[in-house]
Amino acid sequence: MSDITEKPAPALAGKETRGTNQMGMRAQNERLVLTLIRRHGALAKAEIARLTGLSAQTVSVIMRSLEEDGLLLKGEPQRGKVGQPSVPMRLNPDGALFLGLKVGRRSAEMIVTDFLGTIVARRKRIYAYPDYDEVKAFALASVAELTGGLPDASRPRISGLGIAIPFLLWDWAKVLGVEPEKMAAWRHRDLQRELSEELELQVYLQNDATSACSAELVFGTGEQPANFLHVFIAFFVGGGVVLNGTLFPGPTGSAGAIGPLPAVDLSGNRRQLMDIASLVVLERRLEQMGLDSGMLWENPETWDVPDVLLREWTAEAANAIAHATHAAMGVIDFEAVKIDGWIPKRLREDLVDQVRARFDQMDFTGLERPAVEAGTVGADARALGAASQPLLGRFLVGYTA
**Per-residue pLDDT tens for 71-96?**
999 988 776 655 566 889 999 999 99
- 8 Å CB contact between 163 and 174: no
For the chain, give the mean pLDDT: 90
| pTM listed for this prediction | 0.89
For residue 2, what pLDDT is reported? 31
In this prediction, the residues of the chain whose per-residue pLDDT falls under 70 are 1-25, 79-85, 398-401
Antiparallel, parallel or unpaired: β 158-165 and 203-207:
parallel
Q: Which residues contact 104 (CB under 8 A, 6 or more apart)?
A: 130, 166, 208, 234, 235, 382
Domains and CATH numbers, the chain: 3-19+96-212+384-395 (3.30.420.40), 28-91 (1.10.10.10), 223-375 (3.30.420.40)
Q: Nearest CA to 215 among 373, 393, 391, 386?
A: 386
Residue pLDDT, tens place only, 284-325? 999 999 999 999 999 999 999 999 999 999 999 999 999 999
- 8 Å CB contact between 114 and 73: no
Handedness of CA 194, 195, 201, 203 (dihedral sign): negative
For 86, left (φ over 0), alpha (ψ -120 to 50), or beta? beta
Q: Residue 142, SS3?
A: helix
Q: Which residues contact 61 (CB under 8 A, 6 or more apart)?
A: none
